[in-house]
Structures are given as structure tokens and as C-alpha cells.
Amino acid sequence: MKDPRLKQFAEVLVDYSARVQKDDVVLISCAGTEGAPLVKELYALCLERGAKYVEYEFTIPDINRYFYNLASAEQLSYFPQHKLDFMKQANVYIGLTASDNSMVMAKAKQVSMIAWSKVVRPIIDQRVKHTRWVITRYPTQSAAQEARMSLDEYEDYLFAACCMDWEEESRKQDALKACVDAADRVRIKASDTDLSFSIKGLPGIKCDGRLNIPDGEVFTAPVRDSVQGYITYNCPTVYQGKEFNNIRLEFENGRIVRANSPGMDEELNRILDTDEGARYVGEFAIGVNPKITVPMRNILFDEKIFGSIHFTPGQAYDECDNGNRSAVHWDMVKILAGDGELWFDDILIQKDGLFVHEPLLGLNPGA
């Protein structure tokens, strides 16, 4: 029996996030075949909304793994021009992941994955800069297992976090954006964390369901060379098919000068050595989705955990550009709930994961 929440989910993606309308050219891209039920709902809705062409594609990560492990240097350097050509025709992109194994790339050649990410960067840039795009996840047994949940529990969690009144959430985020816009210095204090940096002149950007579902964050970026101190992330992160825990970064004048993760130091530093920008930070964000409260080993959810921040080595976003450029954009999450303080200038904004600054109290769950 079809879950009736799928149609509601598709309506959020098509009508609110991507705003599909007459004469749009739409690309629906699904990693993994288990997402077919949602792809069907999305495809039908896009046609009903008047899109003049809807392309859909399924990729299979287990097949992609062969490319990373077997491709020659010549094959890794080939640029798929046809993909860029079509992306230039599209003005809507809906991407979903429905993988049956989040660790499928754990043993893939990391150097090949890094090289390929550089080659296809122009396609990603075209999609990000020139389409109305949204990224989401489809509930699978694999994702539920990663989240330490049953599939039923995971589906309830996902639909609650995604099918929200995003217009109301957007209004709530206005106060936090105003605080970010007015701030100069930020300080984060918690266990094995004492980090300071400037955000002066860099705007706060609301993430209110337009580009990611689930959503729920306000981000900015640090002045590139201003970051000082150290941070230990307490949320697991999966990057290039490998899980990293308790990553600790030390900064001097904006640059990561030391990086550790138990048992994964070599892999961590190899990623941070992808290019010069990978050791600088391109994003600082505050998670505010009240329905997301625990790590799920899925960054699309984890970076939105209420009472968390993420501090991201790598590429800055165009909307808040601190000048950092990199093939890497690695969202690493620090949960402050129960342990942590967030300061803007001399104002305590958040303590132990709850907002304490009066203009922001309406963001707290249940407010």
C-alpha cells in the first residue's frame, strides 16, 4: 500500500522547494533504485504543474564504485560534456538519495574520488548557480539502520522533519538572520572546543526549505583568515564513504594546522590536502529544525539538528562568499545541547542547545 505521506512529501518538493511551473525543464535524479515510489510522485506532479519536459535518472552507487576503482587516469580526466549541456537546459533539479548501503564507497579509491570531484565541478556549479534545486533523502532500510532506528521509526522521523509548515519556519528564522547580520565576533565554547572568528560583513542566509529537505539552519561564513582556536566535533560524519568520529581541528589565522580523528588521521588529512581551500572554512551555520534532535549519520539531517552548529572546511557558497575555493565542502557538526555556549560579540545567544537571547526564544521547540 502506498504511504499517503509520499504525496505530501512530493508536494513540498515540487510546489514549495522547486516551485515547478509551466514550461520548466526538470531533472529528477535518484541515487539508488529504492526511491522509485517518490520519483513517480515527483514526475507526475511536475507534469501536472505544466513542466514542458521532465527527465528522470537512476544511478547505482555500487556500479559507480567500479569507476573509482578501475578507471585509468585518462578515464578519470574525461569531462562528460553531455551532462553539462543538459544541465544548461534545465532550470529545475530535484535530487534524492535512496542508497541501500551508505558504506558502499568505504573501500573505493579515495584519490580517484577526489580527482573526479574536481573534473565534474562545473556540472555541480551549473546546477547550484542556475537551477531551482532541492536535495532530499528517501527512507530505506539502510538509512534506518544507520540512524539506529526501525524503518517505521525512520519514516516517521523523516516525514516529520520534511513535511513542515516551511513558510512559518522561514518567518521564525528572520530573527536569527538579523542577529547574524549584526554580529562581528563569534565564540563557541564547549568540551574540548574554544573557537573564535569574525563574521563581520558576511550576511546570514536562511535555509527554509527551498534547497534542502529537511531544512532548518541559518548560515554565514567566517572571515577567511580570522578563525583561531580549536573544535572537537561530537557528531559522526560520513564523507566519501568513510565514517569519521570525534574530529578535532586546530586553527591558526583561519587555516587548519592540525587535524585528528581516532583511527582515521591519514584519511582525514588526505581530504584536507585536496587543495589549499580545503584547510580553510567556507561556512558557519546554526541548526534550528525542531524535529531533528539526534545524529542519523546523514548530513542532510545532522546539520539541521536543533542545538547544533556546523563549521565547514572547504568551498564557500556564492550567497555568502568569504573567498574560499575548494573541491571540498565538508559539513562537520558540533552538538551543543547540554554542553556549550554560542556568543555573538558580548551577547550569549545560546546555552546548552537552547536560545537564551530574547529575540530568539521563538525558535526553541514548543515556543
> Virtual CA dihedral for 263, 267, 269, 272, nearest 10 degrees?
-140
C-alpha cell at 114: 577526489
C-alpha torsion sign, points 338, 365, 152, 27: negative
Complete DSSP assignment for 74-141: HHHH---HHHHHHHHH-SEEEEEE--S-TTTTTTS-HHHHHHHHHHTHHHHHHHHHHSEEEEEE---H
HEC letters along 273-330: CCCHHHHCEEEEEEECECCCCCCCCCHHHHCCECCEEEEEEECCECCECCCCCCCCEC
Are 275 and 251 in contact by the 8 Å Cβ rule? The answer is no
Q: What average pLDDT values come out for the chain (367 residues) when binned by 10 residues?
A: 89 97 97 95 98 96 93 96 97 93 85 92 94 95 90 94 94 97 98 97 96 95 98 93 94 98 96 96 97 89 96 95 95 96 97 97 90
C-alpha cell at 344: 555573538
Q: If residue 194 lies in a helix (H) or strand (E), which one and from where to where?
A: strand 193-198
With a pLDDT cut of 90, the percent of the chain lying above it is 88
C-alpha cell at 96: 534524492
C-alpha torsion sign, points 141, 143, 146, 151: negative
Q: Which domains are delineated in the chain? A: 5-162 (3.40.1830.10), 166-363 (no CATH)
Are 112 and 69 in contact by the 8 Å Cβ rule? The answer is yes
Residue 85 buriedness (CB in 10 A; 0-12 / 13-18 / 19+): exposed
Q: Residues in the chain, how many?
A: 367
First to last CA, the chain: 36
Give the pLDDT score at 1.
Answer: 64
Type of residue found at 74: E
Residue 113 CA, chain-centre distance (Å), reads 19
Give the pLDDT score at 289.
Answer: 96
Q: Are strands 237-239 and 242-244 parallel, antiparallel or unpaired?
A: antiparallel
HEC letters along 159-172: HHHHCCCHHHHHHH
Neighbours of 228 (CB within 10 A): 16
Q: Is the pTM of this model over 0.85?
A: no
C-alpha torsion sign, points 259, 262, 266, 272: negative
- DSSP lists the bridge partners of residue 31 as 59, 97
Residue 269 buriedness (CB in 10 A; 0-12 / 13-18 / 19+): middle
How many Cα atoms sit within 13 Å of 91 on the Cβ side? 10
For 59, 119, 339, the CA distances from 263, given in Å and listed in that order, are 31, 29, 25
Neighbours of 141 (CB within 10 A): 13
Give the pLDDT score at 105.
Answer: 86
- Classified as helix, coil or strand, 20 is coil
Are 135 and 96 in contact by the 8 Å Cβ rule? The answer is yes
